Amino acid sequence: MEVLIKGLEYVVTQDDKRRVLRGASILIKDGEIEDVGDVKGPVDEVIDGSSMVAIPGLINTHSHIPMTLLRGVADDMDLFPWLQEKIWPMESHLRPDHIRAGTALGVLEAVRTGTTTIFDMYFFEDVVAEVLSDLGMRGALSEAIIDFGTPECKNVDECMVLADRFVQKWRDHPLIEPGYGPHAPYTVSPERMREISEKAEDNGSTIQIHLAETEKEVSDIKEKYGKGAIELAHEYGILGDRTVAAHVVWPSKMEIALLRETSTLVSHNPVSNLKLASGISPVPDLVEKGVRVSLGTDGPASNNTLDMFETMKVTALIHKVSKRDPKAIPAQTALDMATRIPGDFLRWKIGRICKGYRGDIVLLNVKVPWWVPLHSVVSHLVYSARSTDVRHVLIDGKVILRDGKFTKRDEEDIFAEAERASLDLLEKSGVKSLLKGVD
Ligand SMILES: [Zn+2]
């Protein structure tokens, strides 16, 4: 199967020289980028690239996809009442059908907003993987592990059995990279963290964990163990070049050095951190010290979208104001954090438009007022672009979004199923949503 994307306005390659090519075409053969430049057919499918900019598909390195069902149920609340009164009661009623509905909605949202690879940590991860596989989306997925159990498992031993089974089942899948998801150092004991890190090392799988998200987490861990959350996780083997540390809002200087030494991938989630008032991660310091930093949205209950264009823009903006320095996190750095940096973390060659990389490509329509005049493609991508500019999305060389239309399932069906699943969770849990004045 050969696909030719012909005569693009620009191609943002994200190669080592960060070249932006004008008027180039892209040839994809059997899912892999065969050539970029002055390429011609004959091929099986031609996509007209005029009025379009091509970028590598965006990579969202932290999410809880099925939480699309909890979007907007409760906002503008303190973290603990929000969790205890709203989120946890609804989550306790989650069953595989809810997960299926919420994941399909999340995949549709991610694809329509230019994301081709999504990281996820949640319950019933086997169902999440099935939906991604059916809909042709790439994912790095981790089964959540919590000491007091999850909606899927009564206790942590059961969680471990599920996680092992999940990793074994999906390890050779072409679109899924399975891993372990120890939730956080305040919900998973140090001994359990040690066991997980040894297992992940043995079978070469990834680890996703929340680390140093709130000031309270860091002070609680310090009181209990006499050290920081990141330091504790490191002591029990969790940090490493196959680990994603989500949030990292409150690292100490010493912990920043640990993240660098271990080549841990940090997932910066600025929108969630702003919405839950967790704080502002010292990302410019992390970058300066050589830590690998990528971008994530977190779950849609705390964002409330999976929109990586918004995430890139917020990243480039908040660090300027927090440092009082407009040079902090330039547009190119924000784009690298959403493409080539997380791309290098995974086992596939993704995150760049170069020969030999997978055909994960997003095309944006630039014949809209906010792209004119087009002096700098990269600046526009971060500061001007809107996710609704996305017209075509290819994952592994297959067209998943064609001219704004999802090719894998009927969108209305996905919406209806998600509405039903969300209402069912509200009803079963007795949680009142924010909907007011509507019968
Ligand atoms: Zn999270």
433 — pLDDT class (breaks 50, 70, 90):
confident
**CB under 8 Å to 179, separation ≥6 — which residues?**
140, 141, 142, 167, 200, 205, 206, 207, 208, 242
Distance (Å) from CA 209 to ligand 1 centroid? 8
Distance (Å) from CA 299 to ligand 1 centroid? 6
On whether the pTM is more than 0.95, the answer is yes
pLDDT in tens, 177-207: 999 999 999 999 999 999 999 999 999 999 9
Distance (Å) from CA 135 to ligand 1 centroid? 23
pLDDT in tens, 327-340: 999 999 999 999 99
d(CA 118, CA 134): 15
State CA 335 to chain mean position distance.
Answer: 14
Higher pLDDT, 212 or 433: 212
In the block, residue with structure tokens 């996190």: 329
d(CA 343, CA 330): 19
Distance (Å) from CA 31 to ligand 1 centroid? 31
Per DSSP, which regions of 38-135 are E strands? 45-48, 52-56, 58-60, 115-122
Distance (Å) from CA 126 to ligand 1 centroid? 18
438 — pLDDT class (breaks 50, 70, 90):
low
- Containing H/E element for 142? strand 138-145
pLDDT in tens, 391-406: 999 999 999 999 999 9
DSSP symbol at 124: S
40 — pLDDT class (breaks 50, 70, 90):
confident
pLDDT at 128: 98
Distance (Å) from CA 438 to ligand 1 centroid? 31
pLDDT at 439: 53
Does the structure show a pLDDT above 80 at 41? Answer: no
Amino acid at 165: R
- Alpha helices of 241-355 — where are they, by DSSP H? 253-261, 270-275, 283-288, 308-323, 331-338, 340-345
Distance (Å) from CA 122 to ligand 1 centroid? 9
Does the structure show a pLDDT above 60 at 431? Answer: yes
Distance (Å) from CA 336 to ligand 1 centroid? 21
Distance (Å) from CA 245 to ligand 1 centroid? 10
Does the structure show a pLDDT above 90 at 49? Answer: yes
Does the structure show a pLDDT above 80 at 436? Answer: no
Does the structure show a pLDDT above 70 at 428? Answer: yes
Q: By C-alpha distance, which of 316, 373, 341 is closest to 9?
A: 373
d(CA 350, CA 328): 26
d(CA 131, CA 141): 12
In the block, residue with structure tokens 């903006």: 317
Distance (Å) from CA 290 to ligand 1 centroid? 24
pLDDT in tens, 92-147: 999 999 999 999 999 999 999 999 999 999 999 999 999 999 999 999 999 999 99
Distance (Å) from CA 104 to ligand 1 centroid? 19
Torsion (CA) 14, 15, 16, 17 in degrees, nearest 10: -80
220: tokens are 């609680």
pLDDT in tens, 135-185: 999 999 999 999 999 999 999 999 999 999 999 999 999 999 999 999 999
Distance (Å) from CA 44 to ligand 1 centroid? 41
Q: What share of the chain in percent tops pLDDT 90?
A: 95
Distance (Å) from CA 320 to ligand 1 centroid? 24
Q: Are 312 and 264 in contact (CB under 8 A)?
A: no
Distance (Å) from CA 302 to ligand 1 centroid? 9
Distance (Å) from CA 223 to ligand 1 centroid? 23
pLDDT at 74: 87
Distance (Å) from CA 333 to ligand 1 centroid? 23
Distance (Å) from CA 71 to ligand 1 centroid? 14
Distance (Å) from CA 208 to ligand 1 centroid? 10
Q: Span 27-31, mean pLDDT? A: 97
Distance (Å) from CA 246 to ligand 1 centroid? 7
Does the structure show a pLDDT above 90 at 79? Answer: no
Handedness of CA 319, 18, 141, 181 (dihedral sign): negative
d(CA 54, CA 58): 11
Distance (Å) from CA 300 to ligand 1 centroid? 10
Q: Which domains does the chain possess?
A: 2-57+357-406 (2.30.40.10), 59-345 (3.20.20.140)
Average pLDDT, the chain: 96
